[in-house]
């Protein structure tokens, strides 16, 4: 199956605003895919629906063949999400945020600590593990969100503007990390409005504008058009 398949997805918010007007999108296993588009285009809405944080109005979504309407639990297990807003408890120690997330997926305590260690080390947060999350810098908080999203070892990782507001040095190290987990087999989708970020990381792209996909191509194809 596709890593992600979206068919004729629509979303009208309660205030009547039509944010998505029929999105069709397929992402293949192993891909590193960028969803590009200006602010307000519908990127976050699309991602929030895929992560079942927001209800869709119409259409269908499946993750590795698991339809969100029929097989939500299995679909969720395949997905790791890094949303734009920090949504962890800032008064909790860093390591517990990661370990507790593993608990939600029924991962045994010992295994959870092992994985937390692995990701905290890889993301450069090991020295900070005992401190409260509020003590982390913005870039560190972003990396904590990534560690937390990976602890159940999802086959698909979706990141919403992962490096927004992160300085260039940290951004580069995050890129290196994401490339490595993609190389190890994790399918990655990210939204960005930095073309440079998509260019550096992604093989395939979709461009969304006013709630519609207006272009679906390879990164190379896009660059040849510019
Ligand atoms: P749903 O249709 O998925 O239930 P809602 O229309 O209830 O979504 O909105 C969800 C939340 O988003 C509400 O708390 C609302 O205040 C907030 N919200 C409303 N308008 C906007 C906007 N233009 N951009 C971002 N968030 C908004
Ligand atoms: P992007 O991520 O591409 O910047 P979004 O998906 O956040 O775009 O928003 C798409 C459009 O939907 C925007 O015009 C935004 O203001 C609107 N929107 C987002 N959330 C809500 C909401 N809860 N209620 C009403 N409108 C919303």
Q: Is 37 in the pocket of ligand 2 (CB under 6 A)?
A: yes
Strand ranges inside 64-152, DSSP E: 66-67, 79-82
Which ligand ends up closest to the CA of 38? 2
Q: Is 47 in the pocket of ligand 2 (CB under 6 A)?
A: no
Nearest CA to 102 out of 156, 144, 160, 150 is that of: 150
pLDDT at residue number 87: 92
What is the Cα–Cα distance from 111 to 207, expressed in whole angstroms? 39
Q: Is 85 in the pocket of ligand 1 (CB under 6 A)?
A: no
- State how far the alpha carbon of 83 is from the alpha carbons of 53, 102, 225, in Å: 10, 17, 31
> Tens-of-pLDDT digits for all 226 residues of the chain?
999 999 999 999 999 999 999 999 999 999 999 999 999 999 999 999 999 999 999 999 999 999 999 999 999 999 999 999 999 999 999 999 999 999 999 999 999 999 999 999 999 999 999 999 999 999 999 999 999 999 999 999 999 999 888 888 889 999 999 999 999 999 999 998 788 899 999 999 999 999 999 999 998 888 887 7
Please check whether residue 182 is in contact with residue 28, taking contact to mean a CB–CB distance below 8 angstroms.
Answer: no
Ligand 1 atom at shortest distance from the alpha carbon of 11: 2
Q: How far is the CA of 210 from the centre of ligand 2 (A)?
A: 10
* The model's pTM: 0.89
Q: How far is the CA of 37 from the centre of ligand 2 (A)?
A: 13
What is the Cα–Cα distance from 146 to 190, expressed in whole angstroms? 12
Cα 83–chain centre separation: 7
Q: Is 52 in the pocket of ligand 1 (CB under 6 A)?
A: no
What is the Cα–Cα distance from 60 to 5, expressed in whole angstroms? 8
């Amino acid at each position: 199956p596709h890593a992600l398949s979206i068919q004729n997805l629509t979303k009208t918010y309660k205030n009547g605003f039509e944010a998505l007007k029929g999105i069709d999108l397929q992402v293949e296993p192993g891909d590193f895919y960028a969803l590009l588009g200006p602010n307000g285009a519908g990127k976050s809405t699309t991602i929030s629906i895929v992560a079942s944080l927001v209800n869709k109005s119409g259409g269908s979504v499946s993750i590795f063949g698991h339809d969100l309407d029929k097989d939500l639990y299995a679909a969720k297990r395949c997905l790791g999400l890094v949303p734009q807003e920090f949504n962890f408890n800032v008064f909790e120690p860093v390591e517990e945020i990661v370990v507790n997330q593993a608990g939600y997926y029924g991962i045994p305590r010992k295994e959870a600590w092992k994985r937390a260690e692995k990701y905290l080390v890889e993301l450069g947060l090991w020295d900070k593990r005992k401190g409260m999350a509020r003590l982390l810098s913005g870039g560190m908080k972003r990396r904590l969100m990534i560690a937390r999203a990976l602890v159940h070892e999802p086959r698909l990782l979706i990141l919403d503007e992962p490096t927004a507001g992160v300085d260039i040095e940290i951004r580069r190290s995050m890129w290196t990390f994401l490339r490595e987990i993609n190389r190890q087999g994790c399918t990655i989708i990210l939204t960005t409005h930095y073309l440079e970020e998509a260019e550096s990381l992604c093989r395939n792209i979709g461009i969304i504008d006013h709630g519609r996909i207006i272009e679906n191509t390879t990164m190379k194809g896009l660059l040849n058009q510019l």
